[in-house]
Structure 1
Amino acid sequence: DIRKTMGMCPQHNVLFDILTVEEHVWFYGRLKGLSEERVKAEMEQLIQDTGLPHKRGEQTRNLSGAWGMQRKLSVAIAFVGGSRVVILDEPTAGVDPYSRRSIWELLLKYRKGRTIILSTHYMDEAELLGDRTAIISQGRLCCCGSPLFLKARLGTGYHLTLVNPLGDP
């Protein structure tokens, strides 16, 4: 069943305010058909990897620095059950720089043996996390390749064009 091998993290968190960090991992693990033993093992690993062991019994609505911690949990949930294909829609949008780097570390740790499709507006993020990068503008694919290929082809930096409306040199 495809749902058991796929994970998804939408742009906005899909968390239940009254559930704790632990209960979220439990819920999504059981929803994917994992045994109780496997859920317990994954729960321990995910909670450690997200840096939330001290918040395991906390309801998500009470997480301090809420958006960053909630976002880390949402991203981690996409990997529950050993998802082989993971779709992440702007996983670091709206989070503080520390949480952003923490999410990057999580993705770098969990990427081995998986296909991760990630959308982002941040080129540094695409370069760090992506083996292949596709640039889409107005719904059309503009280019695709490794970050190194795209830099060589499209260049880096800024181009500044100055126009003098008076025509004076």
Structure 2
Amino acid sequence: SILTGLFPPTSGTVLIGGLDIQTHTDSIRHRLGMCPQYNILFNHLTVAEHILFYSQLKGRSRDEAEQELETMLEDMGLTHKRNEEAQNLSGGMQRKLSVAIAFVGEAKVVVLDEPTSGVDPYSRRSIWDLLLKYRPGRTIILSTHHMDEADILGDRVAIISQGKLFCSGSPVFLKNCFGSGFYLTLVRKMRNTRIGRAAVKVIHHHIPEAKLIENIGQELIYLLP
């Protein structure tokens, strides 16, 4: 909310493209796109009308907006829904439309608040593809609860807990510094001590640093580096 100018900061300054969000709000919003956590759509506007409206709101001409509309519909896989009212779209399609709106008007800074929240796996993947395609030449700030999403999409990842920044860096850097490794779970068909010892021997032969952290019933759980 502070980054997009909805609320003033209690302290500090937010600069977007070298401009202060508090003193140059109108100028910044022409180059800023946002997808809030919850869809904000007009029930009786169609998919095409939404994209045309927001594109022209960003200062694009009618011809430019229509050209952008065709590109966006194809990229989002919404071509067959172009004349469908927003209220008749599925939750996944509404979310895809909200993400598309954030990128219209050649937005150079895009803020996405949990863009894949509540969508099906197919829609989630298509949103990922769109973000990866539109990433060059833009700054995209994305919040998510899915670590795989942060890993795939993020050049840099920041982990925030209870309002405090705990760490930030590239996904590889964070894994090297804080990653605990992988868990290997073996399930035995029967509680056989001899088979258990044989399994331990094989694991330690290939991965000497493996640690047995749980031996419950017929399950053996190892922590691998």
The aligned residue for residue 39 of structure 1 is 65
8, 14, 19: which one pairs with 2:40?
Answer: 14
Q: Are residues 160 and 21 of structure 1, via their aligned partners in 2, closer, same or farther at CA, if it must alter by over 3 Å?
A: farther
TM-score between both structures, scaled by the size of structure 2: 0.69
Q: SS of the residue aligned with 2:34?
A: strand
**Cα distance in 2 between the residues matched to 1:37 and 1:29:** 11
State how far apart, in whole Å, the 2-side matches of 1:50 and 1:85 are.
19
Stretches of 4+ aligned residues off by more than 4 angstroms: 158-162
**Residue 53 of structure 2 is aligned to residue 53 of structure 1:** no
Structure 1 residue 157: Cα displacement? 3.6
Question: Which residue among 131, 139, 143 is the counterpart of 2:167?
Answer: 143
Matches within 5 A, 1:12-161: 12-63=38-89, 66-155=90-179, 156-157=181-182
Aligned residue identity for 1:18:
H
1:6 CA displacement: 0.5
3-state SS in 1 of match to 2:41: coil
Gaps of 5+ in 2: 1-26, 184-210, 215-225
**CA distance, structure 2, for counterparts of residue 30 and residue 59 of structure 1:** 19
Number of aligned residues: 160
Q: Which structure has more RCO (C-alpha within 8 Å, separation ≥ 6)?
A: 1
Q: Which runs of no fewer than 5 residues in structure 1 stay unpaired? A: 163-169
Between 151-160 and 102-111, report the one with greater CA deviation: 151-160
Give deviations 1:127-148, integer Å, cap 9, x for gaps.
1000000000110000000000
Structure with higher Rg: it is 2
Residue-by-residue CA offset, 1:13-68 (whole Å, 9 max, x unaligned): 111110000000011011111100110010000011000100000001112xx110
Q: Which amino acid aligns with 1:51?
A: G
> Which whole-Å CA distance do the structure 2 matches of 1:106 and 1:17 have between them?
24
Q: Aligned partners of 2:46 and 2:130: how far apart in 1?
A: 20
Quick one: distance in 2 between partners of 1:105 and 1:54? 19
Report the residue type matching 2:150 in the other structure. Answer: A
Q: Percent identity?
A: 65
Cα distance per residue 1:105-143 (max 9 Å; x no partner): 010010010000000000100010000000001100000
Let me know the Cα RMSD of the aligned residues: 1.4
The residue identity in structure 2 corresponding to 1:80 is: V
1:77-126 deviation per Cα after TM superposition (whole angstroms, max 9, x unaligned)? 10001100000000001111111111000100100100000000001000
How far the C-alpha of 1:160 sits from its partner, in A, is 9.4
**Any idea what SS the aligned residue of 1:78 has?**
helix
Closer, same or farther: CA 160–72 of 1 in aligned 2, 3 Å: farther
Distance 1:2 1:143 in 2: 28
- 2: distance between equivalents of 1:98 and 1:48? 16
